[in-house]
């Protein structure tokens, strides 16, 4: 992105000052007192989301004359995390970066991020919707600003539901039955992304035995039963993972799958890539054993690094405040499928009108009251890597829930001993 600088002195004035200095016999060095402070911003946005983010950055840069944000795409979110950790070691961190709030404990332990409390007033944070604001805090301090927040949804093929006389399932049990029934017609019940880690997380929470917690009860009967839900569907071939396609919408768009479990952030992608004649809708994820908690709050947040100067920190706070503006957060939500960040924006007439015109986004708002973030704890990232590896093995059918959960319990115990 090009830097946007305002030239405050014309060439004529500069020449005039130079002439006066020559006449006096003294050398005068002139420097604009209004030179902008540059803020570097690393993110993991691509496609439409990156374009919209660039527009927001340009809007902020044009809205004031003190700061210039330079946004830099670092690849996917895994790449961003790797680069942050490498930059922390080499002392080359940016001013701010987009990351998951669950990384905050590791960053605090490494002593390379700062709390936002001294830079963002309480009244500013209070504007953020309470469900989304939960991710901001760690050990009594505000470390993360919610930004690209999403919720897991169930996407469905309208035409196949009508053809097979299938209703949108309210429960995982109903989804399992529907998927078994349509298999005889050469159809697949459910498409997933590369593995079912997100669904596993949700199901275990619904079962009352959360997977993503510091000391999970990994071999409990409830954990085992919740793990079997999607595993059994994959084994019976009533569900399928994306594999090398990356995301399940590729399989979903082939027109032979009733449902796709994915993030609400996929809405923007699906809207721009839907094949002609393909009709789809969205619904909250099914409940499990009557638990209405439908999904974990997903997505990414913004953090500020300790290496930033005081001026850069003030600028970062100004940029974060700008992003919370109703015009900005609604622009972001409409273009990407992410949630508006503030309660005022969520309830605004503008957003209600958008939901009327774009019904696919309604399920996200309907899910928000029944969604919550995973807890934050030191070592979350290392544990999540182990969970993802286990989910990969379960999705590929190379192990069973019984064996996988015992192995994961051993890995988690070893991680806790090492902390």
pLDDT tens digits for range 74-128:
998 889 999 999 999 999 999 999 999 999 999 999 999 999 999 999 999 999 9
**DSSP string for residues in 240-268:** E--GGG-STHHHHTTT-EEEEEEETTHHH
Across residues 293-308, what is the average pLDDT? 89
Per-residue pLDDT of 180-199, as tens digits, reads 999 999 999 999 998 899 99
Give the Cα separation of 157 and 154 in Å (integer): 10
Confidence of residue 247 (pLDDT cuts 50, 70, 90): confident
At 6 the pLDDT is 35
Confidence of residue 48 (pLDDT cuts 50, 70, 90): confident
Which of the two residues, 372 and 159, has the higher pLDDT score?
159
Topology (CATH) of 151-297+374-418: D-Maltodextrin-Binding Protein; domain 2 (3.40.190)
Kindly report, as residue ranges, where domains of CATH 3.40.190.10 are found in the chain. Answer: 32-149+299-365, 151-297+374-418
Residue 350 neighbours by CB under 8 Å, 6+ apart: 326, 330
Level-2 CATH architecture, domain 32-149+299-365:
3-Layer(aba) Sandwich (3.40)
**pLDDT beyond 90 at 339:** yes
At 7 the pLDDT is 33
At 398 the pLDDT is 97
At 23 the pLDDT is 34
At 16 the pLDDT is 33
At 30 the pLDDT is 36
């Amino acid at each position: 992105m090009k830097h946007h600088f305002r030239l405050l002195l014309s060439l004529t004035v500069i020449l005039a000052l130079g002439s006066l200095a020559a006449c006096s016999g003294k050398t005068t060095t002139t420097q604009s007192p209004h030179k902008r402070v540059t803020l570097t911003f690393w993110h993991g946005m691509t496609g439409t989301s990156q374009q919209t983010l660039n527009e927001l950055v340009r809007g902020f840069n044009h809205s004031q004359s003190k700061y210039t944000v330079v946004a830099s795409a670092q690849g996917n979110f895994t790449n961003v995390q790797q680069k942050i950790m490498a930059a922390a070691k080499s002392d080359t961190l940016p001013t701010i970066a987009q990351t998951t709030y669950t990384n905050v404990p590791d960053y605090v332990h490494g002593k390379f991020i700062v709390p936002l409390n001294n830079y963002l007033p309480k009244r500013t944070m209070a504007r953020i919707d309470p469900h989304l604001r939960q991710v901001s805090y760690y050990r009594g301090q505000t470390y993360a600003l919610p930004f690209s927040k999403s919720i897991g949804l169930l996407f469905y093929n309208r035409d196949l539901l009508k053809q097979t006389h299938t209703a949108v399932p309210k429960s995982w049990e109903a989804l399992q039955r529907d998927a078994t029934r349509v298999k005889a017609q050469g159809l697949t019940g459910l498409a997933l992304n590369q593995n079912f880690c997100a669904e596993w997380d949700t199901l275990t929470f619904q079962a009352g035995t959360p997977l993503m917690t510091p000391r999970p009860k990994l071999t409990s009967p409830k954990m085992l039963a919740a793990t079997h839900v999607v595993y059994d569907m994959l084994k019976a071939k009533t569900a399928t993972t994306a594999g090398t396609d990356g995301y399940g919408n590729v399989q979903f768009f082939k027109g032979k799958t009733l449902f796709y479990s994915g993030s609400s952030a996929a809405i923007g992608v699906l809207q721009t890539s839907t094949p002609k004649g393909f009709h789809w809708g969205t619904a909250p994820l099914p409940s499990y054993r009557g638990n209405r908690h439908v999904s974990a709050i997903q997505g990414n947040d913004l953090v500020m690094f300790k290496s930033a100067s005081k001026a850069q920190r003030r600028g970062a706070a100004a940029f974060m405040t700008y992003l919370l503006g109703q015009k900005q957060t609604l622009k972001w939500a409409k273009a990407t499928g992410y949630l508006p960040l503030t309660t005022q924006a969520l309830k605004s007439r503008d957003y209600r009108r958008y939901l009327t015109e774009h019904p696919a986004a309604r399920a996200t708002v309907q899910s928000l009251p029944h969604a919550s973030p995973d807890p934050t704890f030191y070592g979350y990232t290392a544990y999540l890597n182990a969970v993802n590896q286990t989910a990969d093995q379960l999705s590929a059918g190379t192990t069973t829930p019984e064996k996988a959960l015992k192995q994961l319990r051993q890995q988690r115990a070893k991680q806790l001993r090492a902390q």
